[in-house]
Structure 1
Amino acid sequence: MRVESRGTSPWDHQGLPSKESAARRGSSAQVSVLNRSMDQLPFPDQSFDLIWAEGSIYTIGFDPALRAWRRLLAPGGALAITEIEWTTDHPDPAVRAYWDAAYPLRTHRANIDAARSAGYRLHAHWPLPESDWWQEYYTPLTERMTQVDADRPGMSQALGAVREEISLRTEHGGDYNYAAYILRPDDHVAVPGPPH
């Protein structure tokens, strides 16, 4: 999770949190870098007005993240996340097989239902632009692929997996997309406790 404004990121050139990077930007007093599990954060209930998780919720899954973070939001707080989701009820079979194996997707409607079950109400939702896939991710990734040592163990498999993902996006990108969600706690919903 991170809170960031473009141009003043406390993140290094690889997108990783860095005390040194924050110090170079003069923001070290405002940034605390913690190495913690996203679903077991050591903060008291209602500690945050805003939790921002952009392009990262998939590491623990949409439902576990919503359950783990609900208790952390103060009254009137908000959860700002992005999640990849189907944009059609009938995605291409190759795309369905790929995502079922990598990270099973749901539709927007199913994600809203999951959010409600976890004790949230939808404040806003919008699809991210196609340019984010290319300008912010695939184009730089493609450039970096030409710079790696393809003879390193496992590198040819990794490059093949990335090429497959890019090909699927090129051919069937209309079947799925990232979307932004702003969710707020719904004080009228009983929130289930953490799993035992």
Structure 2
Amino acid sequence: MFNERCSIVKRAGLRQEGRVKIRQEEIVEAALTLADEQGLGALNMRAIAARLGVQASALYWHVPSKTALMRAMAQSFHARALAVAGAGAAKDWRRWLIDYGVALRRALLSHQGSALLCATARPAPDTAAAAGDLLAAPLVAQGLSRAHALSCLASINALALGWAVYEQSEAMHDHLAEMIGFDESFALGLEAMVSGFHVD
């Protein structure tokens, strides 16, 4: 028992000194949880570090600034949607877009304030092209040009973000809930949008 306690104390001390490896995914998840509880305005490196049991300086290896952190948080929602939609090679590109749109909305609704975050946190200039390539890749594999794929994705992103804003607004959510079913209405709009896309 004594040795076990010593081991726990030692590990805690190492984390506090920042010598235990922290993954960017852990930082992003801690930041999202903090934003859920206290709002995006409460985000700061010290509060996030405290949740992870490390010094704030340990975070800067992965996120050199709050702006970089916000970008990583926003990108995590698109990464989740891409993971759910899959590589795209085994399905029709329109079906892939629908799966991506549904997955993106679900990811956004899993955290409060996510739509505003994604709408305002632009990728860093030196990584924007790579981020675009990653998003477009499943559609390019299906024969779409990169430019056309990104245009389609921009429309899907805007639709999912818009719905997430409505659904995360208490007043608007309650107002719309009296008239429509959210899942059904989103699916209707998404399918109508995708059916209008064409191969360039």
Fold agreement, TM-score > 0.5: no
Q: Which has the higher helix share?
A: 2
Q: Which has the higher strand share?
A: 1
TM-score normalised by the chain length of structure 2? 0.29
Larger Rg over CA atoms: 2
TM-score normalised by the chain length of structure 1? 0.29
